Amino acid sequence: MGAAHSSATCLSSPATTNIPRCYLFHRVSKPSSNSSSIPTIYLHLQKPTSNFISQNHYSLKSPCSSSKIVPLSCARVRLMETQEGSASKPVIDFHGIDEELIQKMAYDALVWSSLHGLVVGDKSVQRSGKVPGVGMVHAPFALLPVAFPENHWKSACEVAPVFNELIDRVSLDGNFLQDSLSRTKKVDVFTSRLLDIHSKVLEMNKTEEIRLGLHRSDYMLDEQTKLLLHIEINTISSSFPGLSCLVSDLHRSLLKRYGEHLGLDSKRIPSNTTVNRFADALAKAWTEYNNPRAAVMVVVQPEEHNMYDQHWLCAALKEKHNVTAIRKTLAEIDKEGELLPDGTLLVGGQAIAVVYFRTGYAPTDYPSEAEWRARLLMEQSLAIKCPSISYHLAGTKKIQQELAKPNVLERFLENKEDITKLQKCFAGLWSLDDSDIVKRAIERPELFVMKPQREGGGNNIYGDDVKENLLRLQREGNEEDAAYILMQRIFPIVSPMFLVRNGICHKDHAVSELGVYSAYLRNKDKVIINDQCGYLMRTKVSSSNEGGVAAGFAVLDSMYLT
Amino acid sequence: MGAAHSSATCLSSPATTNIPRCYLFHRVSKPSSNSSSIPTIYLHLQKPTSNFISQNHYSLKSPCSSSKIVPLSCARVRLMETQEGSASKPVIDFHGIDEELIQKMAYDALVWSSLHGLVVGDKSVQRSGKVPGVGMVHAPFALLPVAFPENHWKSACEVAPVFNELIDRVSLDGNFLQDSLSRTKKVDVFTSRLLDIHSKVLEMNKTEEIRLGLHRSDYMLDEQTKLLLHIEINTISSSFPGLSCLVSDLHRSLLKRYGEHLGLDSKRIPSNTTVNRFADALAKAWTEYNNPRAAVMVVVQPEEHNMYDQHWLCAALKEKHNVTAIRKTLAEIDKEGELLPDGTLLVGGQAIAVVYFRTGYAPTDYPSEAEWRARLLMEQSLAIKCPSISYHLAGTKKIQQELAKPNVLERFLENKEDITKLQKCFAGLWSLDDSDIVKRAIERPELFVMKPQREGGGNNIYGDDVKENLLRLQREGNEEDAAYILMQRIFPIVSPMFLVRNGICHKDHAVSELGVYSAYLRNKDKVIINDQCGYLMRTKVSSSNEGGVAAGFAVLDSMYLT
């Protein structure tokens, strides 16, 4: 799924135009009552100094130079409580935290990030996506964790193994995958190519005995319904297992130092060990494969500015488990890869135990037939694929929409409690052949998002465009409607936050999205791992509308349990 | 002393022209016998891949694009032994280490550096010397540690406390400092300003009860004499206490992974904990000052690309000792500083317990009177200065030359063994009023280096220029000769090494210099700390001559005991 791509792109230059999964951050039509009182503020970081403003440090050019620059007012952080209690509107009020304190914290946070490897490649620097160690910049981060209700966090953790199991069951039902995607296949070349590989694998009658999933389920807290709604599960290339842990550590470190001033307790940031849990899962899969000389292969993009996130995972794999990982692009795998008669995958002469995808989820990842050949080669091998083609397909939007239909979950899961848990968090998802919902979406387009099957595009449709596109599809009457699904539009809680990007601290209204990592490993009938593994919180300014998503400002964040 | 400046500059762009302390890396007129067989090789790092060369990765532009690019031959590392045994010529032979192995190691090393904060600001990126977290690049490093005889390492450690004591004793003898520098004062404005401050402090009749020194003694192993010769002691702004430890960790990590292939054992890299030892010393000094609300103040340059080295030290100070450090430039101290009647130094309203200089050693650090006022203000305060003006003066070249004269050490030290230890490691140092030595230097200029008192200049004079300048000074007959000393030219061992800079691995002949950190803390009669604290190894290509020093290639290194 486009998660990895989306995130990496969102975290890059504001001028980037290709922002997939922009629906993560819907335009919020109902800003909270205090929104107008919060100006956009750019703190141009120098050394912390008490007379920061007076020293003309603002002469440093801001990437958003049109924004008004004013000092913050002074006050202390408090937890806001609504009539319904903190769980219903958990917001850390950043109004008027002492300006000097913010400066100190931001400076310390930037230092911490630099010393502790919370870094990405800076797209403005040549070679920064190819050569490690050059052109590094701190990963964008929120200065403080986002308040989050503990009960919702617990529910999301509880449901993670159920999602894991669901994906595994769905992936086993080849006919369900092929049938559900049959209309999409006609209008979406990318899905069609994935289905072709899936068909070939089905024809081989090959049993994937060892199955590894490293997923991330994404959620938003809907302000209206007070529900934590599931947006999607990413079964391929879930990004930030490495850096997300570091952001939790960063916030814990800041609260240890400044928490007393802020009235915040570092212990309320839940433990986040995704990188170690994912490394454990990869190592256990490697062990199940049972060839001590085989390696884990990370399938990477030719240029990867989020490489350090991946390197953290490989470092944990090596240091904790002494398992070696190699990095290969799809083109390299096509060139260097071969299948031995026994099904062993060799790449550059190296036997591969586990294939871990950090690319391959978007059409742009397959610029030529070489990449498709590589994908098929891996799929035909005995190597453990994370994910296999069937796991990949099980995570597509269309399949998730199918699973949200009445009585479909029952086809894959027996436990009624599990089914209820899943259904409770599903947002509304509909096919465009549901004429009632299409009619309603034309009437109230602001309540819906039109989502293309295509990943990695940033082609989500909002507002009046939903209405116009639905009317156009009705007029044209062709199969193109199969390329889309409709999703309930989520209106997340908006709160003022401090976002730090490219060395600049910026205060704005923002919305947050929770990602819950999970790992699943099964060998034949033996389920070896089925666990929640940690979390990713992402925060983005809420003011970007559909057209302006490219100017978005997404940062890594952690959570503060309330 | 210019150590910090020198190192930071040497580690920056090859195009930089201002490289102080270039005498660290003399032109080696007698290259080892195998020198002609080692081409200069640039490995343009991509992902490690077995057919690296064939994939046109060399198309990435090298900063030294004129260098010939050829693959390395294959062989394994071994320790070279000469007739005199390994201690006399300890060289890890890097001839023909397997090319693929080098690529893998360099890639892993670059990743390690990025994840573990072995970074500096990249001068080519705006704001990288001001704002942490932006424009980072790995610190330049040697891929493998340099072989070093254990006996020499032990001697250097043993003599460190003696040097500490010597500096303290010399600093107490105001007349010795003033007298020794009286001629220099007439021709060197900078030394003159330092002496003025020193005089004012003497007039105040102020007793510095708490005295803190964080020194670094620099040595080179002379190939001819087989002696470890002392080059200088840096009593101000000794750089790299933070990053040097990380390079030792990096090398240990590489040898743990690849040592078996290389025949090298990671345990032979001595423990290097400078950053913690220096933090301990600063914290203990802070404790002696005995004001829980006071801070340590790091005096910094307005732009500092080596800031992460300093941040590591401050992080250790905070995390291990909960002592807060603030960062101020000399100009800021002039603006925000004040002296309370009781001698307390306040900067921006913050009481200062310890002033730790990471600037202030070169004329360029004092662009206006403001900086000199700041220096005097601090000197007049009760804050513990690291270093005080007298420690600073005690570390000047002229004083070190005076100390090398017969019977001068005896004036400051009682213990004859200690005196012998020091004398054993002193290189030849002479004043230009020694006519015999001037005559000899005119006859054999290749055996001498002419060193200016002025720090931070890169004005050292070598070869025929020594002769010409000495003859000129004789003709002119003015006092200018007091601006220089003569030093025995050291011919260090040259060995082929892999140097990694800006993401590029480069093989060349190189020479290494050892720096031994030491800490000294005394409160009245009580010596609280007097210890060796760790080491810095620096390695530089040996082929740069005097004129070409600006193209130099100095990298951080560690040592492999033989």
Question: Residues of B with CB below 8 A from A257's CB?
Answer: 318
Active site residue B234: yes
Looking at residue A501, its amino acid is R
This prediction has a pTM of 0.86
State residue A111 phi and psi, 5-degree precision: -65, -50
Active site residue A456: yes
Question: Residues of A with CB below 8 A from B130's CB?
Answer: 46, 60
* Three-class DSSP category at A313: helix
The tokens for A556 are 């890594």
What pLDDT does A481 receive? 82
Q: Say how far apart CA B498 and CA B517 lie, in whole Å.
A: 25
Which residue in the set B110, B132, B336 is minimally distant from A133, CB to CB?
B110
> Which is nearest to B242 in space by CA: B140, B333, B118?
B118
Q: What is the ipTM of this complex?
A: 0.86
pLDDT per residue of chain B (562 residues) written in tens, 0 to 9: 333 333 332 333 333 323 222 222 332 333 333 333 333 333 333 343 333 223 322 222 223 333 333 233 332 333 443 333 333 444 566 666 788 899 999 999 999 999 999 999 999 999 999 999 999 999 999 999 999 999 999 999 999 999 999 999 999 999 999 999 999 999 899 999 999 999 999 999 888 899 999 999 999 999 988 999 998 999 999 999 999 999 999 999 999 999 988 999 999 999 999 999 999 999 999 999 999 999 999 999 999 999 999 999 999 999 999 999 999 999 999 999 999 999 999 999 999 999 999 999 999 999 999 999 999 999 999 999 999 999 999 999 999 999 999 999 999 999 999 999 999 999 888 888 888 989 999 999 999 989 887 654 467 888 899 999 999 988 988 888 888 889 998 999 898 899 999 999 989 889 999 999 999 999 999 999 999 999 999 998 886 543 222 334 689 999 999 9
The residue from A232, A288, A379, A402 that is catalytic is A232
What pLDDT does A382 receive? 96
Active site residue B216: yes
* Smallest Cα distance from B436 to chain A, Å: 52
- CB distance from B332 to chain A under 8 Å? yes
Across the interface, do B349 and A135 touch by the CB < 8 Å criterion? Answer: no
CA trace torsion B539, B545, B549, B553 (10° rounding): -30
Question: What separation in angstroms does the CA of A44 have from each of A62, A382, B130, B330, B443?
Answer: 7, 53, 11, 21, 59
Across the interface, do A311 and B115 touch by the CB < 8 Å criterion? Answer: yes
Across the interface, do A137 and B138 touch by the CB < 8 Å criterion? Answer: no
Range of weakest confidence among A58-62, A167-171, A425-429, B41-45? A58-62
Active site residue B455: yes
Q: Average pLDDT, stretch A15-39?
A: 32
* Three-class DSSP category at A272: coil
**N-terminal to C-terminal alpha carbon distance within chain B:** 31
Question: Residues of B with CB below 8 A from A136's CB?
Answer: 114, 119, 136-137
Range of weakest confidence among A208-222, A541-555, B36-50, B220-234? B36-50
Which single residue is written with the structure tokens 């839940």?
A270
Q: Say how far apart CA A188 and CA A190 lie, in whole Å.
A: 6
The tokens for B238 are 């000794």
Looking at residue A31, its amino acid is P
Question: Residues of A with CB below 8 A from B134's CB?
Answer: 110, 122, 137-138, 502-503
**E strands present in A342-428:** 345-347, 350-357, 384-386
Active site residue A546: no
* Smallest Cα distance from B362 to chain A, Å: 22
Q: Over the range A178-193, which residues count as b (16 or more CB within 10 Å of their CB) and which as e?
A: eebbebbbebbebbeb
User: Is B3:B457 a contact under the CB 8 Å cutoff?
Assistant: no
Looking at residue A155, its amino acid is S
Looking at residue B206, its amino acid is K
Mean pLDDT of chain A: 83
Question: Residues of B with CB below 8 A from A336's CB?
Answer: 50
Q: Say how far apart CA B154 and CA B163 lie, in whole Å.
A: 15
Residue A167 has pLDDT above 70, yes or no: yes
How confident is residue A91, by pLDDT bands cut at 50, 70 and 90?
A: low
What pLDDT does A536 receive? 95
Number of residues in chain B: 562
Q: Angle at CA A453, nearest 5°, toward A335 and A239?
A: 60
> Which is nearest to B233 in space by CA: B477, B518, B32?
B518
| Burial status of residue B476 (CB atoms within 10 A of its CB: 0-12, 13-18, 19 or more) | exposed
Q: Average pLDDT, stretch A254-280?
A: 95
Across the interface, do B328 and A47 touch by the CB < 8 Å criterion? Answer: yes
Question: What separation in angstroms does the CA of A77 have from each of A51, A91, A150, A264, A560?
Answer: 22, 10, 19, 8, 13
Q: Say how far apart CA B98 and CA B80 lie, in whole Å.
A: 18
What pLDDT does B452 receive? 84
State residue B154 phi and psi, 5-degree precision: -65, -45
Strands A228-234 and A210-221: antiparallel
Q: Angle at CA A264, nearest 5°, toward A259 and A270?
A: 105
State residue A462 phi and psi, 5-degree precision: -130, 160
What pLDDT does A125 receive? 94
Q: Average pLDDT, stretch A195-222?
A: 94
Q: Say how far apart CA B275 and CA B281 lie, in whole Å.
A: 10
Beta-carbon pairs below 8 A across chains A and B: 128
* Three-class DSSP category at B272: coil
Range of weakest confidence among A31-35, A303-307, A489-493, B323-327? A31-35
Q: Say how far apart CA A425 and CA B383 lie, in whole Å.
A: 61
What pLDDT does B208 receive? 86
Looking at residue B178, its amino acid is Q
* Smallest Cα distance from B92 to chain A, Å: 26
User: Is B255:B266 a contact under the CB 8 Å cutoff?
Assistant: yes
Question: Residues of B with CB below 8 A from A134's CB?
Answer: 110, 122, 137-138, 502-503
What pLDDT does B453 receive? 77
Q: What is the sign of the dihedral through the CA atoms of B174, B279, B117 and A243?
A: negative
- CB distance from A49 to chain B under 8 Å? yes
Instruction: Give Cβ neighbours of residue A65 (< 8 Å, ≥ 6 apart).
Output: none
* Smallest Cα distance from B47 to chain A, Å: 7
Instruction: Give Cβ neighbours of residue A465 (< 8 Å, ≥ 6 apart).
Output: A445, A450, A546
Q: Say how far apart CA A497 and CA A145 lie, in whole Å.
A: 9
Q: Over the range A241-275, which residues count as b (16 or more CB within 10 Å of their CB) and which as e?
A: bbbbbbbbbbbbbbbebbbeebebebebbbebbbb
pLDDT tens-place string over residues A346-397: 999 999 999 999 999 999 999 999 999 999 999 999 999 999 999 999 999 9
Measure CA B32 to chain center: 25
User: Is A111:B133 a contact under the CB 8 Å cutoff?
Assistant: yes
Range of weakest confidence among A175-189, A257-271, B442-456? B442-456
* Smallest Cα distance from A118 to chain B, Å: 8
- Helix axis angle, A307-321 to A243-262, nearest 10°: 100
Q: Say how far apart CA B555 and CA B560 lie, in whole Å.
A: 16
Active site residue B123: no
Q: Say how far apart CA A467 and CA A198 lie, in whole Å.
A: 35
Active site residue B158: no
Question: Residues of B with CB below 8 A from A125's CB?
Answer: 122, 125, 135
Range of weakest confidence among A70-79, A225-234, B236-245? A70-79
Q: Over the range A345-384, which residues count as b (16 or more CB within 10 Å of their CB) and which as e?
A: bbbbebbbbbbbbbbbbbeebbeeebbbbbbbbbbbbbbb
* Smallest Cα distance from A329 to chain B, Å: 10
Measure CA A248 to chain center: 16
Give me the percent of chain A exceeding a pLDDT of 70.
80
Q: Say how far apart CA A504 and CA A124 lie, in whole Å.
A: 16
Active site residue B454: no
- CB distance from B119 to chain A under 8 Å? yes
